[in-house]
Every structure is written in structure tokens, then in C-alpha cells.
Amino acid sequence: MRPLDTSPGPQQPAPAALVAVDRAVAELRRGGVVAVLGADGAVAHALAAEAATSATLAALAARAGAPPLLAVTGRRARVLGLGADDANVVRLDAEGGLTADLVALLADPCLSGPHPDLATVTADAAKADCAVSQSVALAKLARLLPAVVVAEGAPPAGDQVCVAAADIAAYQVNAAASLRVVSQARVPLAGAENARIIAFRPADGGIEHLAIVIGEPDVDRPVLTRLHSECFTGDLLGSLRCDCGDQLKGAIAEIAQAGSGVLLYLAQEGRGIGLVNKLRAYRLQDDGFDTLDANLQLGFDDDERIYQPAAQMLRLLGIGAVRLLTNNPLKVDQLAAHGIRVAERVPHVFPANDHNKSYLSTKATRGGHLF
């Protein structure tokens, strides 16, 4: 593997589009109102549903000069019985206007199906590329519930955080393309003493992805590789609800036994929905939902992960072809789509336990995983 430049020189200025989205994410997470600017000139003033109170709703309406609506994913609307088509995002309104209590009810992951308080709620699909739709996408990037109170109207105030809808839509791809190596160090591991960890950071200073390089991979041949999405509960705490901890330790052991390879540790907790939302999904699983339906109940897709960061990391490591340790055909397809040749899929199966049997069964029957 060729040497990597990790000199602590000054980082190049981040593209303005990445910075704008990063600031908007931070503002939304802290309960502020963000102005999302559509290509058609529309302005959606957006507030995370989790931050909706009587005071913040009143402030939002005053700022926009229009009554607020709740924007949710089409999946969430269908869970509530308020959307029958395949709309990407749906606007929800109610007779007499939204209240903080109604917003909380509509966004509550534990609510599904008809409910007496939803009798006056009406639904209207939003265009997939409009400012309202990208407001919901911004909430996903912020790892909040994908539900946003929006009011379309007045131009943004001078001190308001603003972001273009197009920049939100392109953020994950642009951030992945901007990854660069920022640090590396030798880190002997149990069973893999000849290992080093390489950190990759996007240009906007976002969360780092990591590569665990074991031995000295020959990049002129397909490199034994594992894509592993971070799992705090499984990797660190040894949770029995999933097989992530087994897969992480097993991949390190298998790569070490093979002599060399790479494990990419990707910052995509909970199949891309974040730790807090994963815990919400766990609560739903305790109520009888399977792992995929729990995500859909929250309003997310069954898998929100992307694989551009993995492909970019491999390119920076000089790796163009891999033998991929995975049971998930989607990872094979996604790496190939992003320019990395998958010479072989190497099965990566571990025994089930009493706590994750249903989880693994769902991955096989509904997620297409090959066990």
C-alpha cells in the first residue's frame, strides 16, 4: 500500500455548500429555525418537530408570515393512515392549525394508524425537489426524527441561517468526495498486532470515518475488505440484539488470519439513522415491530446508509478491487456503482442467539442478506 500524506498542514477551505448545510444541521439540532431556499424562489422556514412548542410555533409563524404545517416522509404519513401514494414528503395540516401537542402526536414513533386526534388532519404531497422536502432531508442529516414544522413565506431575516435545497440534496455525495486522510497511527489489536488506524475527515469538519489496515495489503490484487457501520451498542457494549459485535471482531480475526486487509469503520450508526433514533427503533421492536418496520414507523427508509464514503476511502488507500466480507448484496452493488470492483463476496456469518434470531431472520427474508 502506498504511503499516505498525513502532514498537519492547513486544511483547504471547505466548499461553501458543505459549510451551509453543516451550519443548518447545527441550527436545527439546537431548536432554531432554518430557511431552506428552493430553486424556484420558494422559502421554507423549518423547525425540527422535536423542538415544537407553543412559543416556537408562534415565532415560526411570525417569521414566515404564514401558518406552519408539519412535513413528514411519505412512509411516516402512510403509517399514520394519512398518505396512500408514494410521495416522498407529505405536508400535514389540521382544522384550526397545528398545536405543539398535535405536532408531538404526529411525530411520536409509537403512534400508528387512525387516532381520534387525527380526525381533522389533512395531507398534501410535496414535490420531491422543493424546499419543504429538503427540510425533511435536513432533519435526517441532523439525526433527528424526519419530521419538520415548516412555514413557506417571507424571505429570510438577515441573521437567519439559510441553506439551498439543492445543497442539502447533494450534501452526502459532496462530503464523501471531500474526504481526506488527517491522521494515522499504529494500533496493535488483540489477534492483529500489525494494525494501524487511519482517520478520514470531510472538508466541513464533520464526523470522521476510520480504516483499520491490517498487515500490508497488496493493492495490485483484490484486498480482503469489510465495510462495518459503527454500532455503539453491539461493538462497544456487546449487545445481543444484533450481530454487529461478532461481525466486527470476526472480520478483524479473519483479515489477520489472511495476512492483510482493510476494515472500514463507517460513521453510520443504526443503518444511518443515528444512535438516538436506533434506540427509538429498539423500543418499537420491543412492541413487536421487526427491525425494518421499526425504521419505517419512525419515518425512515429501511436502510439510510450510503457507500460513497467507503468507495472514496478505498480510492485514497490506493485500492481499486476488493474481496468483500459481507452477507449483504447491496454493499456489493453499491461499491461497484461507485467505482470499486468487487472480485468476490466472502460470506461473513455468525451464530444467532435468543435475542437476535428474529433480527437475523428479518435481514434474510426482507433485507436480502445471504446467510
Active site residue 303: yes
Q: For residue 285, what are the β-bridge partners?
A: none
The grid cell for 227 is 465495510
Which residue is catalytic, options 180, 303, 315, 323? Answer: 303
* Sequence letter at residue 293: D
Which residue is catalytic, options 78, 201, 271, 305? Answer: 305
112: Cα within 13 Å, side-chain hemisphere: 17
* Sequence letter at residue 195: A
For residue 231, the surrounding DSSP H or E stretch is: none
Exposure of 153 by Cβ count < 10 A (0-12 exposed, 13-18 middle, 19+ buried)?
middle
The grid cell for 345 is 463476496
For the CA atoms of 149, 151, 157, 163, what is the dihedral angle to 10 degrees? 60
Active site residue 159: no
Exposure of 162 by Cβ count < 10 A (0-12 exposed, 13-18 middle, 19+ buried)?
middle
- What CA–CA distance (Å, rounded) separates 107 from 105? 5
Contact at 8 Å (CB) between 53 and 100?
Answer: yes
**Nearest Cα residue to 249 out of 236, 268, 260, 267:** 236
**Nearest Cα residue to 1 out of 310, 238, 315:** 315
Contact at 8 Å (CB) between 148 and 48?
Answer: yes
Q: How far from each other are the two terminal CA atoms of the chain, in whole angstroms?
A: 32
Which are the catalytic amino acids? 303, 305
